[in-house]
Amino acid sequence: MHVVIAGCGRVGSELATNLERLGHSIAVIDKSPAAFDRLKSNFKGKTGIGFVFDRDVLEAVGIEEADAFAAVTSGDNSNIVSARVAKEHYRVPNVVARIYDPKRAQIYQRLGIQTVATVRWTTDQMLRFLLPEDVPVEFTVDNGEVVVTAISAPSELVGKHALEVDLDGHRRIVAVSRFGVPRIPDKDLTIQDGDIVHVSVIRKDAAELKDVLKTIGRPV
């Protein structure tokens, strides 16, 4: 597929390299010609010099034939404007924008633009290393009030139905990984020793999730 990348910084250049390695057609836009020095010497895609939301520049690199658009400049405004132009004017099917402000990220997701909230993601990754005994966050939803965590199933849960963990409005098992193979739980799936449970939970409840799961598994 043809992918247009807005911004040739460290993220944009790395994204271009990886997508091209996977066999995709790539075009990269940046207002600074020097930015393209970050691309590999064997880069075969197109480059466009100018503002990432300029329609002439976008059309010159094939936005009208694009299957995907990634806005990864260092500015929220440029990313949002270019993403909206790609989504609303050129009808690009897959559009994603990097956003530093998590509150703005939530707003634009409601407009149909997928966002990566850099600050929130970085914070979660830092916490994983700073507090290794805490519940690891795999994914955050919108403003981060809901997270997906991964926990080794406590012994108290072994033999219990996975759906017994769910509590409406508070937590839900979204997948159970067994020997590296994930499954979406159904009424017949029981927890086995060694399983990894992936649970969506309200952020404020995440720290106590391990203890809560042990309580669920104990006989009444």
pLDDT digits (tens, 9 = 90+) for 47-62: 999 999 999 999 999 9
Q: What is the CATH number that goes with domain 2-121?
A: 3.40.50.720
As a whole number of angstroms, the distance between CA 175 and CA 122 comes to: 24
* DSSP-derived secondary structure letter, 88: I
Domain positions in the chain are 2-121, 133-217
As a whole number of angstroms, the distance between CA 192 and CA 178 comes to: 8
Q: How far is CA 113 from the centre of its chain?
A: 13
Alpha helices per DSSP H over 61-201: 76-84, 102-109, 118-130
> 11-20, 88-97, 113-122: lowest mean pLDDT where?
113-122
Beta bridge partners of 103: none
Radius of gyration of the chain (CA): 21
**Predicted local confidence at residue 220, as pLDDT:** 43
Architecture of domain 133-217: 2-Layer Sandwich (3.30)
**Which residue type, as a one-letter code, is found at position 119?**
V
Is residue 86 within 8 A of residue 40, CB to CB? The reply is: no
pTM flag (> 0.85): no
At 29-53, the pLDDT tens digits run: 999 999 999 999 999 999 999 999 9
